[in-house]
Structure 1
Amino acid sequence: MTTRTGFTYPEVGATRVGPLPRGYRHLHHRVAVGRGRADFEAAGAAVTGWRLHRRAGATMRTTAPRAEAGGAVEVSVGVGPLRLTAPCEVVWTAYEHARTGFAYGTLTGHPECGEEAFTVELADDGTVWFTVLAFSRPAAWYTRIGGPAVPVFQRGYARWLGRTLRGMVTAARRGA
């Protein structure tokens, strides 16, 4: 797999600076996954090192061991003939004192058109928040005919990622 460019939407980077562009479905899911610096570090490493997505059931092919701007990412879900493969490129990363994460944007061949960000933040009160922020619209015939089912799946997957990350943080705290 090689890094490639050719985003399928013009608003590259909008999940970092906002606002989310009009003409797309928007997704914003935020959930507490831990408390304190150690939980923040564990959550951030799981998100940017691809472990969260893999633990949640996605196959991730990447050009780097952790999220790096310009890196290629191929996300696959499903089995056999029902497997969907989605080529993306990492648009931006954040490796900051109280914020860690990345966003990837869709490339040609992705069933959707848009961008999705996954961030972990350490709030002033010590709460560790995980956020999925995205904008998308159908790009393939099957996502167009999927209609209202597609955003339901996306919201469900965002919630699943939050539950999975909370479990990973809890396991890391226990030394598992």
Structure 2
Amino acid sequence: MGRMSSRGGYLTALTYGAVGATQAPDLMTYPPEGFTPAESRARIGHGDQRFETAVTQALTWQIQERSGIGVRVDQAPDDDEVRYNPVTFDEQGVPIKPASIGTPRVEQFSADGTPLVTAGTSAVLTMHAFGQTVHAPVRVVSIIDEADRKGFAYGTLEGHPLSGEESFVVERTADGSVWLQIRQFSQPASAKWRFVAPLLRRQQRVMAEQYLAALRGD
């Protein structure tokens, strides 16, 4: 599905407070109050080349697009507009620098010129669920850039059915195996969506399996 861009989500506030909590080591045991955590992990290949390819795929929205989700990336603001800088973490997932406003983003590209996801990127994800088309606005709140762990996390914006955060991290283990890990915490964003909370949870499980399958076998 082709990717489009528009202006829109850069100045919209996140709809939850625990920004960056998908990187907390104890997320599954102690999630943010009121939120339900989930974690999925699958082996997607082996070797350094597979790792680098999977990282590029993750950082160019291919996990979502290969799962049938449309991705519309909002255009970056002009230099004189407000910019969002997400919370910064150390290698143990401990926050070391709070989110802030003001410093320009540095845009990066893949080998074929496709823009990579960067901190502060906003997008609208479009999918078909519950017999309707659902639009889910998100913003990238952190970039994971370690030697053997790379990926990103996005948080929900107003209009998303859920409130919370989801991360997509490609990992390389000591034996050369390459894994995709997906972590999230969420709750229904409004009374309308709380009414169908069991359906939302089921849809999340389905999407997690599709995300993991999206990078298998390449």
Same fold, TM-score > 0.5, yes or no: yes
Distance 2:69 2:49 in 1: 26
Gaps of 5+ in 2: 1-6, 77-114
Amino acid at match of 2:179: W
Distance 1:143 1:124 in 2: 42
Compute the displacement of 1:136 (Å): 0.2
Amino acid at match of 1:59: G
Q: 1:19 aligns with which of 6, 26, 48?
A: 26
Q: 2:58 aligns with which of 47, 63, 66?
A: 47
Q: 2:119 aligns with which of 69, 79, 88?
A: 69
Distance 2:175 2:73 in 1: 35
Distance 2:65 2:16 in 1: 26
Aligned residue in 2 for 1:36: 47
Aligned residue in 1 for 2:145: 95
Q: Are the counterparts in 2 of residues 4 and 89 from structure 1 also a CA contact under 8 Å? A: no
User: Higher helix fraction: Structure 1 or Structure 2?
Assistant: 1
Residues 39-96 of structure 1, C-alpha deviations (whole Å, 9 max, x = no match) = 11111111111122111100001147221111101111018x8110011110001233
Q: Are the counterparts in 2 of residues 99 and 121 from structure 1 also a CA contact under 8 Å? A: yes
* Pairs within 5 Å for 1:15-164: 15-20=22-27, 21-63=32-74, 65-78=115-128, 82-164=132-214
- Report the 3-state secondary structure (helix = DSSP H, G, I; strand = E; otherwise coil) of the residue aligned with 1:97: coil
Aligned length: 167
Distance 1:146 1:155 in 2: 15
Compute the displacement of 1:18 (Å): 4.4
Amino acid at match of 2:55: G
RMSD: 1.7
Task: State which drifts further: 18-27 or 34-43.
Answer: 18-27
Residues 10-49 of structure 1, C-alpha deviations (whole Å, 9 max, x = no match) = 1011112343323211110011101111111111111111
- Report the 3-state secondary structure (helix = DSSP H, G, I; strand = E; otherwise coil) of the residue aligned with 2:215: helix
Percent identity between the two aligned chains: 37
Gaps of 5+ in 1: 171-176
Aligned residue in 2 for 1:8: 15
Larger radius of gyration: 2
Distance 1:39 1:23 in 2: 38
